[in-house]
Amino acid sequence: MATRLIVLSCIFLAFFQSSNAAYNVVSFGARADGKTDSTLPFLRAWGSACNSVRSATIYVPRGTFLLKPIVFSGPCKSKIVFQIAGTLVAPSDYWSIGNSGNWILFNKVSWVSVKGGIIDAKGASYWSCRRAGRSCPTGSSSISFMWSSNIVVNGLKSINSQLIHIAIYHCNDVVLRNLKITAPSTSLNTDGIHVQSSTGITISSSMIKTGDDCISIGQGSKNLWIDHIACGPGHGISIGSLGDNVYEDGVQNVTITSSVFTRTQNGVRIKSWARPSNGYARNIVFRNIIMRDVYNPIIIDQKYCPDNKGCPNQNSGVKISQVTYKNIRGTSASQVAMNFICSSSNPCNGIKLQNIRLTYNKRAATSSCTNAAGLSNGVVIPRSCLQK
Ligand SMILES: *[C@@H]1O[C@H](CO)[C@@H](O)[C@H](O)[C@H]1NC(C)=O
């Protein structure tokens, strides 16, 4: 009898634990009017979900919710799904989020997924402040994940960030998919997605139209897989700027595939500051890519030094090696479609070119190489200028 009771209560507990705890932000006082500050109600909903021993869903219904800078901190007791049907907006005064660095921050969390939703940081007045050269706050990323793991962001739309739309720092195992990111081509420093000091990041099936890099990959990024990205307008997908610091972690094992660049400033770029560093970029693959009127479709730029400031000897210490370009075709908006400007103290090596066809004004474009070595294979137009 006693054992039967124990078995029954175990079954009951198991059933109970597998069902989900649900927390609607409205029942914590959030208002869908776009005017009432819903920051505290969101934090209370997070607190309850984070303390739940059962996996929890935080539900944001339709409507517009005003949020000031907010930090969702872990560690939490169980998995959390943030299900967003509505829109999260920042206050229209850009100072209110402008000095916090991040508008919406997830810190030290794991097994969190964000599903759906629109986030609108209302960055336009912040960009005009900067353009006018007035004194402006330092600016915020719209949604950031730091020191986190096993994160999924699926179906989120981000509009008009002040700076970076989505930032990933010190994270492991992150999947970003079905994202829509939009800001005008003239907006300053509005990178779509920035990854740094993180491992195991997948970015897939996303549309990115913005004023800076569609995706930027900073120091210490490893094991990245990026596929089915439609980029443009924007500055393309960039590894770098690397070599910002004398001592920094390198970038390795990055694949970018099945993507289209439309009228972007760059297609696939690796760039490093022209100054000493122990940084590196290696085992990088760019393949199955279409360029449509891209200004610099293929570029390595190790002479990056805006305004010629902070680059005393103009040589980059960053070592670039084992970079493959395969199945890349389309049109260049400038004559030089393939441009390898590598460091004289650390030449690029192990560059591989295979099946490339890039035209400029309906003719073959040209290529340019400085301190760059590698091999070419199959049809390569413009012809390779790599040293063997
Ligand atoms: C490279 O990254 C991919 C996915 O991002 C991963 O599956 C693979 O194991 C990594 N390779 C190495 C050698 O670490």
Distance 253 CA to ligand 1 centre (A): 6
* Amino acid 2: pLDDT: 55
pTM as predicted: 0.94
Cis status of the peptide bond prior to 241, with omega within 30 of 0: yes
DSSP at 245: S
Query: Quick one: residue 4, left, alpha or beta (phi over 0 = left, psi -120 to 50 = alpha)?
Result: alpha
Residue having the nearest C-alpha atom to atom 2 of ligand 1: 223
Would residue 308 count as lying in a domain?
Answer: yes
Euclidean distance between CA atoms 26 and 90, whole angstroms: 18
* Amino acid 12: pLDDT: 47
Q: What is the extent of the structural domain holding 383? A: 231-388
Residue having the nearest C-alpha atom to atom 6 of ligand 1: 223
Atom of ligand 1 nearest to the CA of 224: 5
Would residue 143 count as lying in a domain?
Answer: no
Give me the number of domains the chain comprises: 1
* Amino acid 128: pLDDT: 97
Long-range contacts of 43-47 (CB under 8 A, 24+ apart): 43/70, 43/72, 46/72
Would residue 213 count as lying in a domain?
Answer: no
Would residue 238 count as lying in a domain?
Answer: yes
CA neighbours within 13 Å on the CB side: how many for 229? 32
Would residue 236 count as lying in a domain?
Answer: yes
* Amino acid 335: pLDDT: 98
Provide the β-strand partners of residue 272: 242
- From first CA to last CA, the distance across the chain in angstroms is 81
* Amino acid 141: pLDDT: 98
Distance 268 CA to ligand 1 centre (A): 20
Euclidean distance between CA atoms 321 and 284, whole angstroms: 8
Q: Among 222, 223, 225, 282, which is best to mutate for testing ligand 1, by the most ligand atoms less than 8 A from CB?
A: 223
Would residue 311 count as lying in a domain?
Answer: yes
Q: Is 150 in the pocket of ligand 1 (CB under 6 A)?
A: no
* Amino acid 4: pLDDT: 59
CATH of the domain at 268: 2.160.20.10
> From first to last of its 388 residues, what are the pLDDT tens digits of the chain?
455 555 545 444 444 444 689 999 999 999 999 999 999 999 999 999 999 999 999 999 999 999 999 999 999 999 999 999 999 999 999 999 999 999 999 999 999 999 999 999 999 999 999 999 999 999 999 999 999 999 999 999 999 999 999 999 999 999 999 999 999 999 999 999 999 999 999 999 999 999 999 999 999 999 999 999 999 999 999 999 999 999 999 999 999 999 999 999 999 999 999 999 999 999 999 999 999 999 999 999 999 998 888 887 779 999 999 999 999 999 999 999 999 999 999 999 999 999 999 999 999 899 999 999 999 999 999 999 999 9
**Catalytic status, residue 235:** yes
Handedness of CA 346, 352, 357, 363 (dihedral sign): positive
Residue pair 173/147 in contact (Cβ under 8 Å)? The answer is no
Would residue 342 count as lying in a domain?
Answer: yes
Would residue 252 count as lying in a domain?
Answer: yes
Two tokens, residue 154: 């699926």
Contacts of 233 (CB under 8 A, 6+ apart): 185, 209, 210, 211, 262, 263, 264
Q: Is 253 in the pocket of ligand 1 (CB under 6 A)?
A: yes
Angle at the Cα of 237 from the Cα atoms of 235 and 241, rounded to 5 degrees: 85
